[in-house]
């Protein structure tokens, strides 16, 4: 927004600066930046209304600052783009400049001019945060941001998960800073919808830039690798920019001992030079979008936002549907890891790891419950993943690199021709991936997996992945796998597998059916999670933990399925997972000593071996709720209405037929 002040007033205000900072001319308007900042704040959850007029408003624009006597007295005739009310004591200054190269100038004015003007007065507010925003939505293709916090009399960069913030902060981020009194927002957990929305915007940016849908996944992988440290110089010509991106991504993979994956993420310029401008614009805009998401901080968080983010690009290209790829929702990966109780000494395998969601969940669970030394050894020597699609395997590797470890054992390959054997590294139990099995040396103690959905006509049924994974496990190890329901009640090959492989050779601990729309909108298959103990035939009298998760705290909106609390405003929705999890963990610890029966939710009961189909579905075991008097009354009323409607309709049809016959 253009600044409303006279030149003479500007000169007098400049004399108050601690060091020379030239303010922009009134003609250099930041209107586009103003709109961008406002939208970013709204998306992050700030209430972008004037606090002077609205009791819950949080954001003053330039002219609105005049309505607050404390701000008016401090600023005089000059104002920043925005002042955000953080509390009754603290505010946040945001100042913008029209080109990206002026980012340091924008930040200097926010801190050394506007913030100092407030902090030097005895008014109500003190400036805690200051942000510089620089760029132009059209001419300069995007914005960069820097944020600092006042700490011990100095301005220091705000970090999120120890990574410098490159986007604006959310209200939750600020709450952490206010509570802790530090400069780092630890355990930053970005909202899922923010990343899926950004991914859809980026997909459109890449589409406009002429990047083929089947190349967008690898393009994103390359750009993510390129921004791990400092971002590339965006003010260069396309060949220089592409070379910089490729060099950075290749160096990052080489440093993390994954050089063979570099060709899968190499970006090539358009052969027709007339397309170079729009191609370059797409790359620059995408990198800036990633920075605005605080992407480096997000990747170092305890949530697998990269999997959520990348799912959009799999949906739009690379034939994900054709090869059966469906990424596992992150609340399900957490459920599986917590149910199995993964510990720092476990050897964890996902033989169909996709973008690494289960591996990330396992690592984050161990990180929350282990010592620093245990965590370091676990992430280096205990996590193993196999993925048949190279461009997806790269994303799993990037996922772990952002978490500070690129040396984990994630490989591209066919899991059915891949085996594992025991290995010891510096006295720490680990494993080695081999091309042939080694009898009695199976090292895996925990398997977490979601096999790709079987394609029509394929013999790679989902349960075959389970059987192969079990063959890689040591006796007594625990496996969690999602399976389509037909694997648990099918009457042909599926029944043979259940009877002659699963139950004859192993112990079934639990079957938990998941919500019908778990994979919406990617797939409509209904699935259940099974937990199996390796190497002990299932005792016929031993109970199984049967459970039904009908509600998992997620709702559908605009072709997405998101946590209810991420809706704006947040919605309430039942989540049955926290109710089931403690009972399930107690049962796994002591199956014969645990007796549970919660109607419609879960029950412990032995398998019905008299069932000719040997169905293993909770719906056959979990009790229904006893109907109340009101339920019975309603059911009778509904039956009476349906019967009456049928009789009326039947009577009309009979009379019509009689009339036609006599006619």
616 lies in the same domain as 638: no
Q: What is the dihedral of CA 455, 461, 466, 468, to 10 degrees?
A: -100
pLDDT band at 650 (very low <50, low <70, confident <90, very high): low
Beta bridge partners of 545: 510, 604
SS3 97: strand
Instruction: Say yes or no to pLDDT of 663 above 70.
Output: no
Answer whether residue 317 is part of any domain.
no
Together in a domain, 416 and 543: yes
Which residues are bridge partners to 219 per DSSP?
A: none
Element (DSSP H or E) covering residue 489: helix 486-489
Question: pLDDT band at 33, cuts 50/70/90?
Answer: confident
pTM comes to: 0.81
Query: Does 230 reside within a domain?
Result: yes
Residue 639 has pLDDT above 90, yes or no: no
Band of pLDDT at residue 614, cut at 50, 70 and 90: very high
Give the structural domain span for 640. Answer: 628-663
What pLDDT was estimated at residue 453?
A: 81
* For residue 530, pLDDT beyond 60: yes
Q: What is the pLDDT of residue 29?
A: 45
304 part of a folded domain: no
318's CB contacts (< 8 A; 6+ apart) are 213, 214, 216, 217, 389, 391
pLDDT at 17: 45
**Residues paired with 546 in a beta bridge:** 511, 603
Shared domain for 659 and 605, answered yes or no, is no
Among 118-132, 211-225, 301-315, the range scoring the smallest mean pLDDT is 301-315
Helix spans in 58-210 (H): 69-75, 103-108, 116-119, 171-180, 192-208
pLDDT at position 142 is 87
From 185, 218, 253, the end of a domain falls on: 185
- 425 with 558, same domain: the answer is yes
Q: What sign does the dihedral 349-350-352-353 (CA atoms) show?
A: negative
Two structure tokens written together for 409 = 């054992």
Q: Identify the three-state secondary structure at position 321.
A: coil
Phi-psi region of 132 (alpha: psi -120 to 50; beta: other; left: phi over 0): beta
Q: Residue 149 phi/psi, 5° resolution?
A: -130, 145
Residues 515 and 648 in one domain: no
Residue 654 lies in a domain: yes
In this predicted structure, the answer to whether residue 656 has a pLDDT above a threshold of 80 is no
Q: Are residues 112 and 253 in the same domain?
A: no
Same domain, 242 and 329: no
CA atoms of 530 and 479, how far apart (whole Å): 8
Q: What confidence category does residue 7 fall into, taking pLDDT thresholds of 50, 70 and 90?
A: very low
Q: Is residue 2 part of a domain?
A: no
pLDDT score, position 9: 43
Position 316 in a domain: no
Residues 38 and 98 both lie in one domain: yes
CATH of the domain at 580: 3.40.50.150
Contact status, residue 385 vs residue 353, Cβ threshold 8 Å:
yes
**At which of 254, 282, 299 does a domain end?**
299
How would residue 325 be classed by pLDDT, with cut points 50, 70 and 90?
low
In a domain? residue 597: yes
Highest mean pLDDT among 208-212, 242-246, 413-417: 242-246
Question: Quick check: is 319 in a domain?
Answer: no
In whole angstroms, what is the distance from residue 446 CA to residue 524 CA? 28
Query: Quick one: 172 and 221 in the same domain?
Result: no
pLDDT score at 405: 78
Overall number of domains in the chain:
4
Higher-confidence position of 393 and 632 = 393
Q: Are 188 and 297 contacting, i.e. CB atoms less than 8 angstroms apart?
A: yes
DSSP class of residue 102? G
Task: Report, as an integer, the average pLDDT of 257-284.
Answer: 93
Digit-coded pLDDT (tens) for 531-588? 999 999 999 999 999 999 999 999 988 777 888 987 777 788 999 999 999 999 999 9
Q: Which tens digit of pLDDT belongs to each residue from 84-133?
A: 999 999 999 999 999 999 999 999 999 999 999 999 988 899 999 999 99
Boundary residue ending a domain (140, 162, 185): 185
Share of the chain above pLDDT 70, in %: 88
Check if the beta carbon of residue 393 is closer than 8 Å to that of residue 261. Answer: yes
Decide if pLDDT at 16 tops 80: no
Q: How far apart are CA 342 and CA 340, in angstroms?
A: 6
- Predicted pLDDT at 638: 72
**pLDDT, mean over the chain:** 87
Nearest to 113 by CA among 146, 149, 80: 80
| pLDDT attached to residue 304 | 77
**Residues 221-248: what's their mean pLDDT?**
93
Q: Are residues 210 and 340 in the same domain?
A: no
Give yes or no: residues 166 and 236 share one domain: no
Q: Give which of 225, 226, 239 is closest to 277, Cα–Cα.
A: 239
Instruction: Tell whether 399 and 421 lie within a shared domain.
Output: yes
pLDDT tens readout for residues 361-405: 999 999 999 999 999 999 999 999 999 888 888 888 988 888 777
Residue 13 has pLDDT above 50, yes or no: no
- pLDDT value of position 4: 39
303 or 131, greater pLDDT: 131
Greater pLDDT, 628 or 31 = 31
Instruction: Look at residue 147 in the predicted model and tell me its pLDDT.
Output: 98
pLDDT of residue 570: 79
pLDDT at 3: 43
């Amino acid at each position: 927004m253009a600044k409303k002040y006279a030149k003479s007033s500007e000169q007098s205000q400049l004399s108050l600066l601690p060091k020379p900072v030239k303010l922009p001319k009134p003609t250099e308007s930041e209107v586009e930046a103003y709109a961008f900042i406002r939208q970013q704040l709204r998306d992050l959850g700030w209430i972008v209304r004037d606090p002077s007029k609205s009791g819950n408003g949080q954001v003053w624009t330039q002219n609105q600052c005049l309505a607050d006597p404390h701000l008016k007295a401090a600023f005089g005739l000059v104002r920043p783009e925005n002042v955000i009310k953080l509390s009754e004591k603290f505010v946040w200054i945001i100042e913008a400049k029209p080109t990206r190269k002026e980012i340091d100038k924008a930040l200097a004015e926010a801190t050394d001019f506007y913030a100092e003007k407030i902090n030097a007065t005895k008014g109500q507010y003190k400036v805690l945060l200051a942000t510089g925003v620089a760029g132009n939505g059209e001419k300069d293709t995007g914005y960069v941001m820097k944020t600092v916090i006042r700490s011990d009399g100095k301005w220091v960069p705000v970090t999120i998960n120890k990574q410098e913030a490159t986007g604006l902060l959310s209200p939750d981020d600020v709450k952490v800073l206010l509570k802790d009194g530090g400069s780092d927002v630890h355990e930053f957990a970005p909202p899922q919808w923010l990343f899926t929305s950004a991914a859809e915007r980026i997909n459109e940016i890449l589409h406009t830039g002429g990047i083929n849908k089947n190349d967008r996944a690898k393009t994103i992988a390359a750009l993510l690798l390129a921004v791990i440290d400092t971002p590339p110089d965006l003010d260069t010509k396309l060949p220089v920019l592409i070379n910089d991106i490729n060099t950075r991504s290749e160096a990052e993979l080489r440093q993390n001992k994954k050089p063979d994956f570099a060709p899968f993420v190499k970006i090539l310029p358009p052969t027709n030079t007339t397309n170079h401008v729009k191609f370059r614009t797409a790359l620059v805009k995408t990198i800036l979008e990633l920075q605005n998401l605080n992407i480096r901080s997000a990747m170092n968080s305890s949530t697998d936002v990269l999997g959520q983010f990348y799912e959009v690009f799999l949906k739009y290209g690379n034939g994900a549907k054709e090869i059966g790829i469906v990424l596992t929702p992150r609340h399900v990966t957490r459920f599986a890891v917590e149910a199995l109780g993964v510990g720092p000494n476990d050897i964890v395998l996902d033989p169909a790891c996709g973008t690494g969601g289960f591996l990330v969940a396992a690592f984050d669970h161990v990180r929350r419950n282990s010592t620093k030394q245990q965590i370091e050894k676990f992430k280096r020597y205990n996590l193993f993943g196999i993925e048949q699609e190279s461009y997806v395997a790269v994303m799993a590797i990037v996922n772990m690199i952002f978490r500070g470890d690129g040396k984990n054992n994630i490989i591209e390959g066919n899991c059915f021709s891949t085996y594992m054997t025991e290995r010891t590294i510096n006295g720490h139990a680990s494993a080695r991936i081999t091309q042939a099995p080694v009898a009695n040396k199976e090292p895996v103690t925990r398997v977490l997996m979601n096999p790709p959905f079987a394609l029509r006509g394929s013999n790679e049924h989902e349960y075959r992945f389970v059987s192969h994974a079990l063959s890689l496990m040591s006796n007594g190890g625990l496996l969690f796998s999602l399976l389509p329901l037909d694997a648990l009640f099918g009457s042909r090959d599926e029944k043979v597998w259940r009877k002659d492989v699963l139950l004859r050779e192993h112990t079934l601990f639990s079957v938990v059916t998941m919500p019908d729309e778990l994979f919406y909108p990617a797939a409509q298959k209904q699935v259940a999670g099974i937990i199996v103990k390796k190497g002990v035939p299932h005792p016929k009298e031993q109970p199984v933990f049967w459970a039904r998760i009908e509600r998992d705290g997620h709702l559908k909106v605009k072709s997405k399925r998101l946590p209810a609390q991420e809706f704006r405003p947040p919605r309430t929705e039942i989540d049955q997972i926290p109710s089931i999890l403690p009972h399930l963990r107690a049962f796994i610890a002591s199956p014969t000593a645990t007796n549970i029966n919660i109607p419609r939710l879960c029950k412990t009961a032995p398998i019905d071996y008299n069932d000719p189909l040997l169905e293993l579905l909770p719906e056959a075991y979990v009790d229904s709720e006893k109907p109340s008097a009101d339920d019975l009354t309603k059911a009778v009323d509904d039956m009476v209405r349906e019967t009456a409607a049928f009789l009326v309709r039947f009577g009309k049809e009979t009379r019509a037929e009689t009339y036609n016959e006599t006619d």
